[in-house]
Structure 1
């Protein structure tokens, strides 16, 4: 257990204990649990998972800060980048945001699109957490005019019928339940969670099934070298199926994904021999995903090469791939920084723009990748700095 982390209060501890009991019961009933299943339950178990329960996740009062929480610049810049696509697609164009967070992105994007007279027909939010959806509804209703707020609608699953518009996901792929693998005597093993003799959670390795083994061998072929014994990392065998599930019905438009990660050759560097898994608890990063289940965010960096393969494999045209900072600057971020504001507000916006774009902050750690379908000419700011040769 990481003793450097703050202790939860009694209610939080009781909540974590409830989820821990559920996890123990499943392990006792079915045997050791693949790490991907552990992550799925810790994040999304109904009423108990990190994203399903009521504690604040985002911003200063939560566990981490996302780009939309810094201020309005991020959402306003992307709204301006989306507007030409929405206009070209016509009056029935929609925006679909995967995972609405606190609702900050929807509020600021809708406000900017309204100011540009470029509102989509609907601003759809696919939010698996009932608690987060309720918070988003309340925020949007409180902060936007009623006619603009009415464009926001919540859906429980991706659209089943064909639609036109923009699909957007900020820090979503990193939260997909990931598989952890390692090599033992040349054979692929999958990391599981089991119980020791005292009922405590422990991480163990088991021979991988065919799906996981094939995914790891695919990586080795793509990298041109086998993984050495003991090397441990993550892979998402389900990523192509997930991409099909969330984007298959987008008939014309653009899909933009922003997240932290690397191209494959950098993701699986020999020196990165314990993978990219990272946990967040009260603005502290740590490496113990078994610590306080249900209270700790668990993520893994994104293999952007795999994401590119999944998008093209789903029938999309590749648009571009670039660091977030360069993409935002090329999309007109600086035009939003100084527009006649009082000095103190201008200083705040400059600080926000620096966090979004500087290499030492979010500017290079976060990457943007986009796909298009239906002959749409989208996101010139992303194409301007396209680094797809690195993929």
Structure 2
């Protein structure tokens, strides 16, 4: 583990800081280096790269939302990866609907923005922040994101039964006092875990939502990511949900630290917290279903409908600005 810290020129830091640099460091971060991240030749596959069905489902969702709000003429995908999902969404919209919309992608990775630019050219406008995209749309937009939240830096915590408190995990691994408000994180209000239980918190997501949602006036947002409600999320998971992916191999434990900048690092989303944060931002929840339910009408492959696999692990939520 010391070799990892030396490589990143750090004498010790919270895990969240390590994860942020491992994924997004401008020179050596996983998402910012010149590497292929998804698909058969990458480190992992997504629902969008496994089948066009997800893009079809999102496209049909957009058509339904447009019928409800025909004055909203902008579509924003946040974190579009290689652009596979947006491409299928546009195909599903067809010429009849496509001409009505202006499509936008929000992407912080210059490497992925280059891939998206090559794929779409001037047909899709690229932005580095959601705030920037919403400025161009006047605050009106249909928004969707898929496997975005799980890449946000996570605060790693561990329960001490002896001290009856949560502590923050640093890298190299050591335990430190935790300074987060329990009002915003359901795990911090729970004391029924066994000694050593680990959980992941995402203050990074909460901060991100607070930054852009005040600029969103009308439309709807579809969030698709893997996770569950708390505390079910951590049932039979004493080490939490943190893991890494390298060449389609799942790595856990100390292997998560082994290849900073060369492997993806991810953690499941606590949807109890995510839904609460969206309510705090003034957004109204319209629906909540699992991926299998979203894809069933569209002849999805069995692997995406499996309730014990992706079909049940991915949560799909729709929100709208209150009064929208």
Normalising by structure 1, what TM-score? 0.75
Taking the aligned partners of 2:5 and 2:261, their CA distance within structure 1 comes to 8
User: In 2, Cα distance between the equivalents of 1:313 and 1:213?
Assistant: 15
Q: Matches of 2:125 and 2:49 in 1, distance apart? A: 21
Structure 2 partner of 1:133: 113
Aligned mate of 1:318, from 266, 282, 285: 285
In structure 2, what is the Cα distance between the partners aligned to 1:183 and 1:361? 28
- Residue in structure 2 matching 1:43, options 17, 23, 29: 23
Matches within 5 A, 1:365-376: 365-373=313-321, 375=323
Picking from 225, 232, 240, the partner of 1:275 is 240
Give the superposed CA RMSD. 2.3
The answer to whether the 8 Å contact 1:220/1:226 transfers is no
Q: What is the alpha-carbon distance in structure 1 between the residues aligned to residue 292 and residue 246 of structure 2?
A: 26
SS of alignment partner, residue 90 of structure 1: coil
User: 2:79–2:148: 8 Å Cα contact kept in structure 1?
Assistant: yes
Matched, 1:237 2:195: no
Q: Is the 8 A contact 2:57 2:294 kept in 1?
A: no
Q: Is the 8 A contact 1:279 1:286 kept in 2?
A: yes
For 1:183 and 1:374, locate their aligned partners in 2 and report how far apart those are by CA, in whole Å: 37
Residue in 2 that maps onto 1:349: none
- What residue is the counterpart of 1:12 in the other structure? none
Q: What's 2:176 paired with?
A: 206
Q: Secondary structure, in 3 states, of the residue corresponding to 1:78?
A: helix
1:243 aligns to what SS in structure 2? helix
- Cα deviation, 1:193-252, whole Å, max 9, x if unaligned, reads 03xxxxxxxx221122x2266656x5353x5x4444322111123432222224332211
Match of 2:85, SS state, is helix
> Which 4+ stretches in 1 moved above 4 angstroms?
19-22, 212-216
- SS of the residue 1:117 aligns to: helix
Change (3 A) 1:234 1:36: same
Structure 2 counterpart of 1:159 = 131
Alpha-carbon distance between aligned partners in 1 of 2:70 and 2:153, rounded to the nearest angstrom = 36
> Which of 238, 246, 266 is equivalent to 2:232?
266
Give SS of 1:240's match: helix
- 1:219 and 2:187 aligned: yes
Q: SS where residue 52 of structure 1 aligns?
A: coil
Q: How does 1:182-193 map to 2 (within 5 A)?
A: 182-184=158-160, 185-193=163-171
Q: Are residues 86 and 374 of structure 1, via their aligned partners in 2, closer, same or farther at CA, if it must alter by over 3 Å?
A: farther
Q: Aligned to 1:295, what secondary structure does the other structure show?
A: coil
Offset of residue 372 of structure 1: 1.1
> What is the rounded CA distance, in whole Å, between the counterparts of 1:171 and 1:177 in structure 2?
13
Could you say which residue in structure 1 is the equivalent of 2:263? 296
Paired residues, number: 315
Q: Is the 8 A contact 1:50 1:294 kept in 2?
A: yes
Q: Secondary structure at the match of 2:203?
A: coil
Unpaired segments of 5 or more residues in structure 2?
none
Equivalent residue for 2:301, pick from 337, 346, 353: 353
- What per-residue deviation string (whole Å, max 9, x for no partner) do you get for residues 20-57 of structure 1? 6552x2x23xxx21000000000000131011011110
**1:365 Cα deviation (Å)?**
1.7
Name 1:255's counterpart in structure 2: 221
Whole-Å separation in 1 of the counterparts to 2:59 and 2:85 = 10
**Is 1:109 the counterpart of 2:85 in the alignment?**
no
Deviations 1:110-147 (A, max 9, x none): 12213442445321111010001101111224xxxxxx
Q: Do the aligned partners of 1:89 and 1:164 also contact (CA within 8 Å) in 2?
A: no
If you compute each CA radius of gyration, which structure gives the higher value, 1 or 2?
1
Structure 1 residues not aligned, in runs of 5+: 2-16, 142-149, 195-202, 335-351, 377-391
Q: Residue in 2 aligned with 1:333?
A: 298
CA shift, 1:97, in A, is 0.9
Instruction: String of CA shifts for 1:328-360, please: whole Å, max 9, x gaps.
Output: 22xx313xxxxxxxxxxxxxxxxx522222224
